[in-house]
Structure 1
Amino acid sequence: MPRPAATRSPHSAAAGRAPARGGKPHTIRIIGGNWKRTPLPVLDLDGLRPTPDRVRETLFNWLGQDLDGLRCLDLFAGSGALGFEAASRGAARVLMVERNARAAAQLRANQQRLDARNIEIAEADALRLAAGLAPGSFDVIFLDPPFGDEALLARALDVAAPLAAPDGAIYVECGDPLEPARIDALSGWSVVREGKAGAVRYHLLRRQNEE
């Protein structure tokens, strides 16, 4: 359900938008792993744009269907679509960061519903929290900041890159293709996969010496 000016996460220190349509819940569906086909409630908040099923399916084909033992960071968690999908597929640890209090509460409710002990939820500013994490502590980092906020995306990439393990990956979802200059600024990273679905552009980054 991509919407060009929206964001999957109402994280939005940057967005600062109010809930839409009363914040009533709808659902997302986990598409693979232990919780395959499980529907999860998602609040209908302005700016909350869950990653579409077809994009998630493509992403986890790129990453491999099993994420057994991997450590994942969902930095602008929003609906939690990416983080719950990773946890379902065997990730050892999934840290979801979400600033919006209502969205974070829904993430916790869904975590409890699944009894997902491999998931941690932090209600916090994404960039501030990320700045305090240990370098090299994640194998997969998901970045889906508010669409159109290029400055926030640049800061998120700069903060995320040191957090990735040497053979780790960064997934970026945004409204426009990543600019080559933005990737060059990361020093040593390159886009190894990319795609488009409606208004959503998505990219998988790895270090240049990694396949």
Structure 2
Amino acid sequence: MRVVAGEYGGRTLKTLEGKNTRPTGDKVRAAIFSMLGQYFDGGLVLDLYSGSGGLAIEAVSRGCDRAIMVEKDRHAQQVIQANIEMTKDGGRFSLMKMTSDKAMFVLNESFDLVFLDPPYAKEQIVKDIENLNDRGLLSPDVTIICETDKSVDLPDSIANFNLIKQKNYGISKVSLYERNRASILAEV
């Protein structure tokens, strides 16, 4: 696997062997960022089930300011650390070595881009979006990207967020959620 584009484009990413993680392949990563608009003008990224860290590194490579990666698996943490070192830009990345649930109670920043690729997708994604929203960890213009098996059907609406795009890529399904505009106006 490689970083697809941007500042770190073409650099090799290490991946984790085994069945505990599903690394997002180059083609799916490229498709995700094509759906998002390719490049960013700043912003804070949260990768709540980081695996190899590839999605967060890709986002920073394409213009996000910083990324926080959360991973509980020790072997995956080592891979993420090696991938952060590959960027030679370690100050733009933070690795939280804990579960996603614990991280949500420790975090205190507002995220502009969130990646969710949990092991037990549907129920966990709904719970994660609700928890992130309830804890005030999502910016008004946040985009939430969920990667699941193509057989998983996520709801059209979760908390104050609506499903705006969804595409299948091989065995994977990518779903994008954005905040319901009516909920933003109600908060103002």
TM-score normalised by structure 1 residue count: 0.78
The answer to whether residue 50 in structure 2 is matched with residue 74 in structure 1 is no
Percentage identity across paired residues of the two chains: 30
Among 111, 116, 124, the alignment partner of 2:84 is 111
Q: Which amino acid aligns with 1:100?
A: D
Matched-pair contact (CA < 8 Å) for 2:146–2:176: yes
Q: Which amino acid aligns with 1:160?
A: L
> What's the counterpart of residue 54 of structure 1?
27
Matched-pair contact (CA < 8 Å) for 1:131–1:159: no
Q: Which amino acid aligns with 2:98?
A: A
RMSD value over aligned CA atoms?
1.7
The answer to whether residue 152 in structure 2 is matched with residue 179 in structure 1 is no
The answer to whether residue 172 in structure 2 is matched with residue 196 in structure 1 is no
> What's the counterpart of residue 123 of structure 2?
151
Gaps of 5+ in 2: 183-188
TM-score normalised by structure 2 residue count: 0.86
Matched-pair contact (CA < 8 Å) for 2:111–2:139: yes
- Return the structure number with greater helix share: 2
Matched-pair contact (CA < 8 Å) for 1:73–1:96: yes
Superposition deviation, residue 149 in structure 1: 4.7
- How many correspondences in the alignment? 177
Per-residue deviation, residues 38-81 of structure 1 (Å, max 9, x unmatched):
11111202222111222221221222222231100000000112
Gaps of 5+ in 1: 1-27
Q: Which amino acid aligns with 2:40?
A: L
- Which consecutive aligned stretches of 4+ in structure 1 deviate over 6 angstroms post-superposition? none
Matched-pair contact (CA < 8 Å) for 2:13–2:54: no
Distance (Å, rounded) in 2 between the aligned partners of 1:96 and 1:111: 10
Distance (Å, rounded) in 2 between the aligned partners of 1:35 and 1:171: 21
Distance (Å, rounded) in 1 between the aligned partners of 2:108 and 2:14: 32
Distance (Å, rounded) in 1 between the aligned partners of 2:97 and 2:82: 13
Q: Which amino acid aligns with 2:26?
A: D
Matched-pair contact (CA < 8 Å) for 1:91–1:118: no
